[in-house]
Chain A
Amino acid sequence: MGILPKHVSRLRSWLLTPGTSYVPWILLGPNFILIVLFMLGPLLLLGRISFEGYQAGHGIIETWQAANYSKFLFDPFYRQVLLGTLVLGAEVTALCLLLGFPLAYALSRARGLKRAVLYFCILMPLLTSTVVRTFGWMILLANNGFINRILVSLHLTHRPLRLMYNVTGVIIALGEVLLPFMVLALDAALLNINPSLYEAARNLGARGPRIFFRITLPLSLPGIVSGCVLVFTGALSAFVTPTLIAGARMKVMSTIIYQQAMALLDWPFGAAIAFVMLTTILILLVSSLQVTDRWRSA
């Protein structure tokens, strides 16, 4: 059954409500083609492939099965990877929130040159590629690296701490990579707080901690939520930092996807892991939106 003229005319009357023209659709055309051909199409194909089978030596087998998903979710090794990635995301998010809040607070309070300098220090890392920054961490975290030499010379430790090729190093480096996103999200929220609220609280006799817990913290909640979502998503999908810092010692979701795609060529399994990652992020986004909605209506 082809497309009937009726459908065409209905589509045309939907696109061109009175007073509008063809021009915007022509302008949007190239971008739609780009997105459909190189994003939506490939993602649909990836979704289809995630239900296909794979046999070493034979390659991809065309079937419909959910074996790839059940393998990733129920096999002990892969379940450990999933849990490990989620825990890593939570740890990095906690670290960023802990370090981001004081910095964002100072940034939101600073004016003029001080704010410009602070801003520069927070933006400079964002403009530097993740590969370069992770390379810097590899130099710092090595067994005979700067951090270990300082620790040994201060007699805080006898032997160098193992910071490379384990999860500690990944948390330290990934926290640094994602910290600017947290600071910028928190800064935006803190700047939105009306300064007269602080004055009112002070006039009513409230002191530092009380002002912080009754005004600053609750009113910056939307920024905390969006910063945490940004950082958690970034940690969940991080590839460069875990690969370079942890090497083969620690597998996260994205390094497993890479391995399936490039070394083992089991694309159906890689596709299934990719969709588990997307679903996790989607659940996270939806629940965070609900948190902020509830906060707004409360």
Chain B
Amino acid sequence: MKVALRLVNVAILCYLIAPIVVVVATAFGSRAYPVFPPHELTLVWFLKFWATPELREALRLSATLSATSTALATIIGTFSALALVRYRVRGKAVFSVVLLSPILFPAIVLALALLVAFQRVGLTQTFRGLVAAHTLLITPFVVRLAMASLAEFDPSLEEAAQNLGAGWWRTFSRITLPLILPGVLAGALFAFIMSFDELVVTLLLAGPELQTLPIRIFNYVQYSSDSTISAISTCLIAVWLIIGIPVYARFLSVRHSGRG
């Protein structure tokens, strides 16, 4: 019985990581289209990724977009968390739900809503529009992680600083911020990953001039199969694993529900 259960679980784990293994393996395969398992090993698809101007441009755009949105989301989200945890606010429970709500709506619904609204004010197919949409989508992650960090430490430290004559800004910059920095940084990194991987909303708002890396991959995969895409994906998987695992561990320790 125990052995059977263990075998079943090994099979389920294989199912879970199969597509990732396949993508990474085919990135090193010698065929121009991905074949699993690969026969001969080569690094040529990684070089081709770097040598393709439109993919490099997409990488640059994605990095700029995600960095800008993450910076905005980190500031906005940290302030919100501070207000909700440290102050007596009327309707705190309702506001918490409202602030976290962007991650509850299906992406395709928000995407269409933003498309319709942005069309009226001329924000479709603009970088500013994409920054606004991404900031909306990723701020909840910062709020959640910053709130968890704030709840962890003793508010009497802040009170002590204020009793000793420190003003609001001095208390925040000398006491509060250094103490919640790990949580805020984890939130920012997680928000960056979420923004970098975002496809659906970006797809509806971006237009032909603003093709982010996920859009390029999506379009490539839809019409052709190419080992270069495996190489790009492998690079992304490697980067996300390195920066993501510690962040995700932290995120999970404070999360109560996930997102579909």
Contact = CB atoms under 8 A, between A and B. Distances in A.
Interface residues of B, number: 89
Interface stretch (B1-9, B39-47, B157-165, B178-186): B1-9
Nearest to A60: B116
Contacts of B260: 178, 181, 230-235, 237
Interface stretch (A66-74, A130-138, A194-202): A130-138
A297 interface: no
A171 interface: no
Contacts of A45: 113, 116-117, 120
Interface in B98-120: 98-99, 101-102, 105-118, 120
B161 to A, nearest CB: 15
B200 interface: yes
A27 B139 contact: no
Nearest to A28: B83
A99 B1 contact: no
B109 A274 contact: yes
Interface string B10-23: 00110111111111
Contacts of A31: 76-77, 79-80, 99, 139, 143
B258 A181 contact: yes
Interface string B220-231: 011001000110
Given A31-B77, A38-B133, A136 B20 contact: yes
B76 to A, nearest CB: 5
A261 B115 contact: yes
B166 interface: no
Contacts of A218: none
Query: Is chain A's interface secondary structure helix, strand, loop, or mixed overall?
Result: helix
A270 B260 CA distance: 21
Contacts of A34: 76, 132, 135-136, 139
Interface residues of A, number: 88
A271 B19 contact: no
A125 B15 CA distance: 11
B221 A39 contact: no
A179 B84 CA distance: 33
28 contacts: A17-B88, A27-B79, A30-B75, A30-B76, A31-B139, A34-B76, A34-B135, A35-B102, A38-B135, A39-B110, A42-B118, A45-B113, A46-B116, A106-B6, A118-B13, A121-B16, A121-B17, A133-B19, A135-B217, A135-B221, A135-B230, A136-B22, A136-B23, A140-B36, A230-B259, A254-B108, A271-B116, A278-B106
